[in-house]
Structure 1
Amino acid sequence: MFQALPKTIAFEEFLNWKPDGGCYELYDGVIVEMQPVGDHEEINGFLAKKLNVEFERLSLPYFIPKQALVKVPDKESGYSPDVIVINQKNLSAEPMWKKSSTVTQAASVPLVIEVVSTNWRDDYASKLVDYETFGVPEYWITDYLALGGRRYIGNPKQPTVSVYYLVDGEYQVNLFRGSDRIISPTFPELNLTAEQIFQAGRSENQL
């Protein structure tokens, strides 16, 4: 869930305004306050835990920050992904990292994951285009409530993990449901199914 705050500002103004508490993004100069629900946060935590195990196992220089911003090229937009994998080795080349936890280079971001909420069009449309333009090599859309349009997740609609990956600068996509094992170009040995992700967003009294 989110709430738009009606004022158009530049990205630098947004960084100066952004308070320490809360989660905010900038959409073409408009500040948006993100308000994720509990199930959403459980899935975020589950994915971060699984990926951190993979970083450790493979001795990769990656980590998942609590909050970080992706500055979209040539736009007054900046996103705070639900899960963002950062390549620590490239941070010395990031001019905005030390002061504002903001990345501006694709080499710093091996993977971005968005967990779909009621504003699903942002994940499937504007963010998809912007992450592709930015050059994020791999982008997951985790749609555990099957909120996305049928043109994205099929008909009948069902919970789906869409894994977008860059090929010659353009995203290709594979869809995963149920017991399908997630195929990740960035982490090819990741042992994780779509249903395991969806189960993470269901509390015990819902199972």
Structure 2
Amino acid sequence: MAQAINKLTTFEEFIEWYPNNGIPYELHKGVIVEMPPPTGEHENVIGFLVGQIALQYLHKGLPYRIPKTGLVKTPDNDSTYSPDIVLVNHDNLVNEPLWKKQSTLVRSASIPLVVEVVSTNWRDDYHDKFGDYEEMGIPEYWIVDYASLGGKRFIGNPKQQTITICELVDGEYQTTQFQGNKLIVSPLFPDLNLTAQQIFDSAL
């Protein structure tokens, strides 16, 4: 739900306003937006993916971590997102001016991967966040549509459970879709041995 306000909100105002009530909020083009309440299936998928991704970077000894909560702020200062999963390069946090006090990331070098598990506000994931993560230069972005909520132009007609992996190439996202028993191909984690269906089944 968009907050009823007469003027656009800055990042600084958003952080100062943010209530400690357990409800997640994001800032979309200067408007404070309350996120849809998570379902158990949605949280199951997030938990499964966190485990699978963590296995990859721990096995390789990479300096990555997945915080419980972390914000990603766009350079124009009018949007701030709370991804379902944000993979953080711990070695680059020294270059993050907002991390210590506000757990907020602004540099793409700190964010190897973001994952959004699609909810009823699917347009945010396929439109706004796609464009903003791309503009920020985040190398890899997954859109996990386990409930087939996205528009038909994104996941087919009839709609199908789909995982869209976006890889940054020459400043633009190149997208590849995965459905059914097709093995996921992640540029960041090429040894990932995981099918789209395994991710979809984790919702149950």
TM bucket, shorter chain:
over 0.9
- Taking the aligned partners of 1:151 and 1:75, their CA distance within structure 2 comes to 30
Partner residue, 1:4: 2
In the alignment, which residue of structure 2 is the partner of 1:205?
Answer: none
Greater mean alpha carbon deviation, residues 107-116 or residues 67-76: 67-76
What residue in structure 1 maps to residue 16 of structure 2?
16
- Give per-residue Cα distances to partners, 1:140-181, cap 9 Å, x unaligned: 000011111121122221000000010000000000001011
Displacement after TM superposition at 1:41 (Å): 0.7
Which one of the candidate residues 187, 190, 200 is aligned to 1:188?
190
Cα distance, 1:29 vs. partner? 1.3
For the residue of structure 1 that corresponds to 2:2, the secondary structure is strand
1:38 aligns with 2:40: yes
- CA–CA separation in structure 1 for the residues paired with 2:45 and 2:114: 14
Shift of 1:18: 1.3
Partners in 2 of 1:188 and 1:75 — Cα distance? 34
Paired position in structure 1 for 2:82: 80
What SS does structure 2 have at the residue aligned with 1:152?
helix
- Equivalence for 1:124: 126
Sequence identity, in percent?
A: 56
Give the TM-score normalised by structure 1: 0.94
**In the TM superposition, what is the alpha-carbon distance from 1:60 to its structure 2 partner?**
0.7
Computed over aligned residues only, the root mean square deviation of the Cα atoms, in angstroms, reads 1.0
Give the length in aligned residue pairs: 200
Task: Give the whole-Å Cα distance in 2 for the aligned partners of 1:158 and 1:126.
Answer: 22
Secondary structure, counterpart of 2:72 in structure 1: strand
Structure 1: gaps spanning 5 or more residues: 203-207
Letter of the 1:26 partner, please give it.
L
TM-score (norm 2): 0.95
| Matched residue, 2:138 | 136
Alignment partners' CA distance in 2, 1:131 and 1:65: 18
